[in-house]
Amino acid sequence: MLLSLGPPAQFETIDFSGMDPGTQTSHKIKWSKRTIEIAFSASLGSPGPNIKPGSDVIGAARRALRRWSSIANITFVEIASPAVSISPASGGDGTNLLTVADTPENEELFNAGSTTGRTRVFYDPETGVIAEADICLNPHLRSADGTALQFSTDGSPDTYDLESTFVHEIGHLLGLDHSDVLASTMQAHQALNGTYGLTAFTGRTLSEDDRQHVRSLYGPGQHLARIEGRLVDNSSLGTTIPLGSVSVWAETIPWRTFKHDCSTRNRKAREDLSCRRRYRPGPRHQHLSRVAIFCG
């Protein structure tokens, strides 16, 4: 759903729904910054009846944020906030609120529907740059037939997995839309725990489809392996010539494959950096990296 706003009109909002596949936009919306402050509403510490007592609400929120920040170039900074209601569509307050509170403003977002969560994103329609995003969980969660339901973190049957809902909504906070890939966390529907006798924890983890989408917006996590250096041709004694048209290929290979490589009689292979690392102490099954450079 796209809303046109009155002044200050520099931002539009999009309300991403947890289960409504109709929320599509032609805008590529994303954050321009890589560090995003997330305000944990006081409601996370004292949730209402929509969450099963004893659930690890704050832990689920933190783990959900880490799911995304661990694989994309995004850092979340958690702050505490006394706020409990998300910003109205008519204007944001600059705070990215994560709330589970039962307030009229939050309830209005769901209209007694069965949607598990919603994320309201404020962005510049000219650039797609997100200025604010608020996440709210349904304070009166109900099934399609009106039965009251709860969120939980322990896999209780006939409850929704809270952490999975958080991971999905944080995807929207980052600007991701719904995915058509059924195994993805960003697909539009969330199953109840106990469906087919299984806990519905798969939404806690990201599929390859989720990873590709978020990395297309922000790039891979900066803590992932990096290769840096200068490539020169030193084949002529005393001179180094910068190389052009060079492709660098890198892979991580399991220990056993690597050991096989090193056992060859190829002197070049034995002298390879990877082969020397073989003798370093470390876990037996550690993965070792190998780099090859192709010229031309």
Cis check: omega of the bond before 242, within 30 degrees of 0: no
Q: How far is the CB of 169 from Zn ion (least distance, A)?
A: 7
Q: How far is the CB of 176 from Zn ion (least distance, A)?
A: 9
**Please, what sign has the CA dihedral across residues 10, 87, 105, 21?**
positive
Residue closest to Zn ion when measured from CB atoms: 18
List interacting residues with Zn ion (CB under 5 A): 18
Q: How far is the CB of 14 from Zn ion (least distance, A)?
A: 11
Q: How far is the CB of 99 from Zn ion (least distance, A)?
A: 17
- Of 18 and 92, the one with the shorter C-beta distance to Zn ion is 18
Q: How far is the CB of 143 from Zn ion (least distance, A)?
A: 18
Length in residues, the chain: 296
- Of 152 and 187, the one with the shorter C-beta distance to Zn ion is 187
Q: How far is the CB of 37 from Zn ion (least distance, A)?
A: 22
- Of 170 and 275, the one with the shorter C-beta distance to Zn ion is 170
Residue 99 CB: number of other CB atoms within 10 A?
A: 25
Burial of 208 (0-12, 13-18, 19+ CB in 10 A): exposed
- Of 18 and 128, the one with the shorter C-beta distance to Zn ion is 18
Q: What is the DSSP string of 38-95?
A: EEEEGGGTS--TTB-TT--HHHHHHHHHHHHHTTBS-EEEEEEE---SPPPTT---S-
What residues have CB less than 8 Å from 11, skipping those under 6 apart? 5, 92, 122, 123, 124, 125, 131, 132
- Of 202 and 289, the one with the shorter C-beta distance to Zn ion is 202
**Residue 192 has what DSSP assignment?**
P
Burial of 86 (0-12, 13-18, 19+ CB in 10 A): buried
CA distance 46 to 101: 9
Instruction: Give the phi and the psi of residue 247 in degrees, each rounded to 5.
Output: -110, 135
Placement of tokens 């032609």 in the chain: 26
- Of 149 and 288, the one with the shorter C-beta distance to Zn ion is 149
- Of 178 and 290, the one with the shorter C-beta distance to Zn ion is 178
Q: How far is the CB of 17 from Zn ion (least distance, A)?
A: 5
